[in-house]
Chain A
Amino acid sequence: MKKILLTLALVFSATILFAQQTYPVNGSFDVRPGLYAFTNANIVVNANQTISNGVLLIKDKTIQSVGTGTSIPKGYVVIDLKGKYIYPSLIDAFTSYGIAESQRATAGGFGGGRQSIFTSTKKGAYNWNEAIRPETEVKNIFAIDAKKADDLRKVGFGSVNAINRDGIARGTSAAVSLTDVSENLAMIKDQTAANYSFNKGTSANDYPSSLMGSIALLRQTYLDASWYKGQKEEYNISLDEFNKQQNLPQLFEADGWQNILRAAKIGKEFGKQYIIKSNGDEYQRIDAVKASGASLIIPINFAKAFDVEDPAEARNVSLGQMKAWELAPTNPAVLEKAGVNFALTTFSLDNPRDFWANLRTAIENGLTEKQALLSVTEVPAKMLGISDKVGSLEKGKLANFLITSENIFKSSNIIYENWVQGKRFIVSKMDVTDLRGVYNLNADGIGALTLKITGTGGGTAAAIERTGADSVKTTATFVRSGDWVSINFNLKKNPKGDIRLSGYLTNVSPIAFKGEFALSEGTTGNWTATFKEANKEAPKREEPKPALAANGPLIYPMVAFGNTVQPVAESVLLKNATVWTNEKEGILQNADVLLEGGKIKAVGKNLAAGAAKVVDATGKHITAGLIDEHSHIAGTGGINEGAQSSSSEVRIADIINSEDVNIYRQLAGGVTTSQILHGSANPIGGQSQLIKLRWGKLPEELKFEGADGFIKFALGENVKQSNFGTGARFPVTRMGVEQTFVDHFTRAQEYKKALAIKGNNVRRDLELDALVEILDNKRFITCHSYVQSEINMLMHVADSLGFKINTFTHILEGYKVADKMKARGINASTFSDWWAYKMEVQEAIPYNGKIMHNVGITTAFNSDDAEMARRLNQEAGKSVLYGGVSEEDALKFVTLNPAKMLHIDNKVGSLKAGKDADVVVWSANPLSIYAKAEKTFVDGIAYWDLEKDAQLQKTQQTERARLIQKMLDSKNKGGRTQRPVAVPQTLYHCESVSDYLHEYTTEMEGAHSHE
């Protein structure tokens, strides 16, 4: 019944004010003129202009005039605002308002997610991958959500951009008003932007399962769409729509500054400047964010303080989390200062009601009120291309405005009314009689009492006092409904029990009430109350702003061990050490190494220091920085794109994460260069990225300049999914693995031929492009491999199809085919002593490295493990234990030899004048368990220093203590808190199968912490 009434009411209200031309009406037409004049208001026309004592005239949906001294024509309803304020209603450029939440199609969750669904399950002539769904248009699926509209209106919003947040290419969004009348009326602009993200959403397809896969899929889609324009072979709704949407604003949801940079890179490649919705951490790397040129949409969902009262629990919260808690509120101010164009959104607020409190926090942290207003009015209006309709109060624009008690940013401000398209929505009743004050209350048989009405607005709370005999002071419940009040209190005795008063206003000046009361035992009587005096309150002072405790400094990166100031290259003379040159000079005793300008200036005895700082290294050992040929640190969003048997289109380069603490931890073990590899879930993996461990630099700055491109291949149990997966993905045997390579390289050869003949008319295929690079000797293979049969197989496939294998990695049975590898000049990067973790390593032996080395293969030891990478020097030492490799050669297993196989031995890997100053100072022989890395230089910068680390830890301790105190203070002042739970650290290695979307990482069953 209730529902029916509601429906009726809606239909009714619709016919009254906003009849639509095309809609029939049941009953008589009731079209009203909708003429209003708002007078005596402070009209904030826009962020730059405020009119005092102004008049706003509206007609129906539209603003007719804004100004002062306007003569009001007859026929207008005049609303005298008596110094109140009028603001343009706010605009939120990023919401999913009015979009039904899509159900996730895939199972997802623990160890699941993989269903082996290779192509789209959507019926129709759409894209092969469901995550590419530009055909989705919000204008077709938008439906008014009365509850959400009400929530947003109460906060002050009048229009929003409605986005279907599902998929990688998500289709078009629409700008709608927050009216409750009809979708036809609400639609302000039916196509505001084409939308994108890195998240495949409800797509049932396995691909992509990683961030780098999402990036590759989007890049391929740009290429496909471009190809589609000129072809006649197929009809594809998705690509067609994709092309049609390219002239709209392009809106990318990419949370976090690193993802902003990732999106901007794609934009640069395809000539797009995205508007990016991010997550509010841009202050951490504001220069890079600014340089991306992107306009941003930023949430203000500042984290709650962690509840750190229990020190043991507080340990779970990292310095990075604490600092982010402290500094996140500065983000809008930092963006403003940097001159970034940004809008603010309510998106990801726990509750839209937090919007104003958080916005005021941002203002306290330096955001100007002007920018704040711009960011919720004109900026989003411009982004969405709806400036002609909303965002400021000008003639011809929609009558979307707010009536407020004062400056909208003041904490005492009250939003009275939110008018949407000329329709009034009352948020808080204006001009209610202020009942606050002290009254003489008289009730029959009870006697004289004092009533005190307090609270906000016209009064929301009450207290009762009786003096003399039976004196008592008690609070009363006070409910007001228009001019009707009810008051309920208990005097303990005379009479006992609750006294319930109800009554009404009989006079306004002075205020008087009259009514009846009932006692608990049933007696009734009459009461009156008359105004005696105003509440005696301390004159309302301007709230003294709580002195903000100064914020701590930013650190780079924004995790523990980050530096407040980026360290710079030094000129250093390391004096009188045992120097392992890795050159023909061998190991020099009592020798010096001079570092200057990021390079090794000289190696030898009795070097002159010149301007360099002299470090006495007597008793120490100096080596080239260690190089890890096989690493999976410093990546994010998954390192396996294993949904298909080939994923050569994905690039680790796209997902480098500069904030991984393992970079610092490995510097502490003397590592300076790491090859970050794709995992081993499929035969043809993704493109590798060589990085230097430049702690604190941006992801792009970690990349090893000028290095050759590599790619990961894999063989064996992982690629045939022996220990994980559904078993539905080809191949499942080593026989099938061969044919995977044969097929892909045959296609690559044909593709290459076609490109040569037909040029741009051939559909560009990122997957085959990478294989062509291999055929052209421009990209080099690192192949994960175990047993001799498969190693032999790939060498034959390579021979027959005309490509080279640069390196076999893991290569645990390399010792069985070392002569064949040697004959082809293939390098080997293996583990020192791992075995028995899978069937295919039953004959893995620690003498493998030694045998391959002695056969003449360039041999390295690698980690594939964030922990072991800290001790690569010890792993090299094991080649002395297992097989008696000379110490000089053993060290080369983790320095010069990996440099050679990565084609960077002209820059790193040995101590030689002119090479990069990537140098480690060890406390003892580096192959010994007793050696500590005391200093690690990369490009002459001492990123690791054992002594400075101790200092840093102390500083960090102090900083943590300060932040913990600040959180405790916040809690004590009533600030909300959250449980101190740590952010899980994801450690990847070859067998980590993750799903970026489903936020899980599992290990293939039976996998070891190694491969």
Chain B
Amino acid sequence: MNKYILTAFFAFASTVVAFAQANIVPAKPQSKKVIILGAVVHVGNGQVIENGYITFDKGKITGVGDATVVKFALTDADVISANGKHVYPGFISPITNLGLAEFESVKATLDFAEIGNMNPHIRSIVAYNTDSKVQPTLRSNGVLMAQITPQGGTIAGSSSVVQLDAWNWEDAAIKTDDALHLNWPATPRFRGGFNRPGFSADALAERTQKAIADLEEIFSQAKAYGEGAKPATSNARLAAMANLFNGKQKLFITAGTQKDIVAAVNFAKKYGITPVIVGGNEAYLITSFLKDNNIAVVVSQPHALPSNVDDDVNMPYKNAAILANAGVTVAVSIDGYWQQRNLPFMAGTIATWGLGAEKALQTITLNTAKILGIDKTTGSIEVGKDATIFISAGDALDMKTNKVETAFIQGRSINLDNLHKQLDKRFSDKYGIK
């Protein structure tokens, strides 16, 4: 039965649709120099070039600047005339279980939350599914890179940064094991609606204290483990944390309230680590603390309800802007995986509520690259960086005008088709409508 449907699908698709999902293949390496001319170039560092050019070759950006004052030899190059269109650095989705989940309600497709509370040895990259149907739906909105992040427990494991056009996870990886992810033990604010033993405010506070003590224990042990000689009995968990202390791996701590953020930062500092705060819905209350400690924040899900009834109803929209305007390095994330195609509009919201478009763009490009430690090669359209960029007919931060026409990942012109476009075409053709 299944087979029949699939066969029918492909038979149908092959006659009408140019590509079926299985045929959306990763692009071949860049073979020819590309010149983009006349576009509004959003560099990603806040700068805009109104009538700009970009050249790239062998996957790397070779030139960017004002198109009115340069001359090119147009031979041996693909020239893209992009007058009035917009070019952006590829958007980067931090903190996502993309490729680790396919259907939220189907357990067999879920690979992002390992059992156990302290899992520093767990690595997301090995479970990352490049053949998911989801990535193509993100690329067509301009999201070209992502930080694939495990979830669950107190220490969830290590994330890796990937680009979204690859044959396998090995090819996809931009930076493996870039960060270890820790969920700060938060004291629940609510009674949970249960007036029963074990759920009293005091009991919960005690549990939080115990969880923090457990964290101190494993961090102290891991630090000592790395400094001493290799013990007779090795410990995979402790060994996996070595790069945290030598600075090769970052520490991302999810914390929401001001108290938890301060506690989390002070905890990390004890081990000589400058953490990245993830979530931070109350971060706007402690901007000077964050600045003084040089803490970057990945603000989660600006499209959220305020955490308190009394809060400004638009507070979640404003949080990132307040932080950025105070001088904190801010990136923006959204929950989930298929939702990541809305990442550009998170930046759009931040732009509307206090940051302005170009600075808001940084929260999904250069700032994110900096926070993930990949800004040497990505995050902005600058010479020497990867040519991971796209052309949109209009402002890509606004759903009304986001229209990605061409996209390159490391110079490779990627296929922008996806399952949704295919189904659209299939049924629009059935009804004979556009």
Contacts and interface: CB of A to CB of B under 8 A. Distances in A.
Given A319-B310, A930-B348, A1000 B194 contact: yes
Contact of B105 (A881, A927, A1007): A1007
Contact of A881 (B102, B352, B402, B434): B402
A109 B338 CA distance: 32
Given A836-B104, A867-B303, A953 B309 contact: no
A985 interface: yes
A657 B194 CA distance: 22
A949 interface: yes
B8 interface: no
Contact of A854 (B102, B192, B257, B434): B434
A929 B348 contact: yes
Interface of B: 102-107, 134, 141, 189-194, 201, 257-259, 303-306, 308-310, 312-314, 336-338, 341-342, 345, 348-349, 351-353, 397-403, 419-421, 423-424, 427-428, 431, 433-434
Contacts of B306: 665
Contact of B338 (A559, A836, A984, A1005): A836
Contacts of B427: 815-816, 818, 851
Nearest to B301: A867
Contacts of A837: 103-105, 338
Contact of A665 (B107, B201, B313, B434): B313
B413 to A, nearest CB: 22
A851 B431 contact: yes
Nearest to B421: A847
B352 A930 contact: yes
Contacts, number: 165
Nearest to A669: B313
A837 B313 CA distance: 27
A981 B200 CA distance: 10
Given A847-B423, A928-B398, 19 more contacts: A559-B309, A665-B313, A819-B431, A836-B103, A836-B337, A838-B103, A842-B103, A843-B419, A847-B424, A854-B431, A871-B303, A881-B399, A929-B348, A929-B397, A931-B352, A982-B309, A985-B309, A1000-B194, A1006-B106
A932 B312 CA distance: 14
Contacts of A929: 345, 348-349, 351-352, 397-400
Interface in A341-361: none
A815 to B, nearest CB: 5
B191 A880 contact: no
Given A837-B104, A847-B420, A1006-B105, A932 B434 contact: no
Contact of B424 (A665, A851, A1008): A851
Contacts of A870: 313
B377 to A, nearest CB: 29
Contacts of A927: 399-400
Interface in A308-357: 312, 315-316, 318-320
Nearest to B352: A930
Given A838-B104, A845-B424, A1006-B104, A668 B310 contact: no
B378 to A, nearest CB: 24
Nearest to B105: A1006
Given A855-B431, A881-B400, A1000 B103 contact: no
A651 interface: no
> Most chain-B CB neighbours within 10 Å: which of A320, A845, A880, A949?
A845
B29 to A, nearest CB: 31
B106 A839 contact: yes
Contacts of A838: 103-106
Nearest to B336: A1008
A854 B258 CA distance: 49
Nearest to B196: A109
Contacts of B424: 815, 845, 847, 850-851, 882-883
Given A866-B305, A981-B201, A833 B341 contact: yes
A717 interface: yes
A956 B310 contact: yes
A430 interface: no
Nearest to B204: A981
A560 interface: yes
A691 B259 CA distance: 39
A1008 B97 CA distance: 14
A837 B349 CA distance: 24
Given A664-B313, A847-B420, A981-B201, A930 B398 contact: yes
A851 B432 CA distance: 10
Contacts of A878: 399
A312 B194 contact: no
Given A316-B308, A845-B424, A981-B190, A836 B102 contact: yes
Contact of B304 (A312, A833, A839, A867): A867
Contacts of A486: none
A1006 B353 CA distance: 33
Interface string A849-892: 01100110000000000111011001001101111100100000
A953 B313 CA distance: 10
A316 B189 contact: yes
Nearest to A866: B305
A925 interface: yes
Contact of A560 (B102, B309, B338, B348): B309
A832 to B, nearest CB: 9
Interface of A: 109, 312, 315-316, 318-320, 559-561, 661-662, 664-665, 668, 717, 722-723, 815-816, 818-819, 833, 835-839, 842-843, 845-847, 850-851, 854-855, 866-868, 870-871, 874, 877-878, 880-884, 887, 925, 927-932, 949, 953, 956, 960, 979, 981-985, 987, 999-1001, 1005-1008
Contacts of B107: 1006
B189 A982 contact: yes
Contact of A661 (B106, B191, B309, B397): B309
B134 A877 contact: no
B196 to A, nearest CB: 8
17 contacts: A315-B310, A661-B309, A722-B105, A851-B433, A854-B431, A854-B433, A867-B303, A867-B304, A874-B345, A877-B398, A881-B402, A882-B420, A883-B424, A929-B399, A932-B353, A979-B201, A1006-B104
Nearest to A835: B338
Contacts of B421: 847
Nearest to A878: B399
Contacts of B352: 929-932
Contacts of B312: 949, 953
Contacts of B336: 1008
B431 A999 contact: no
Contacts of A662: 305
A1000 B104 contact: no
Contacts of B191: 981, 984
Nearest to A949: B313
A996 to B, nearest CB: 12
A17 to B, nearest CB: 43
B348 A846 contact: no
Given A854-B433, A929-B345, A984-B193, A839 B105 contact: yes
Contacts of B342: 833
B314 A984 contact: no
Contacts of A1006: 104-107
A887 B400 CA distance: 9
Contacts of A846: 420
Nearest to B418: A845
A929 B348 CA distance: 6
A722 B421 CA distance: 29
Nearest to A979: B201
Contacts of B398: 877, 928-930
A868 B420 CA distance: 22
Contact of B399 (A723, A867, A877): A877
Contacts of A850: 424
A925 B394 CA distance: 15
B338 A1000 contact: no
A661 to B, nearest CB: 5
A878 B341 CA distance: 11
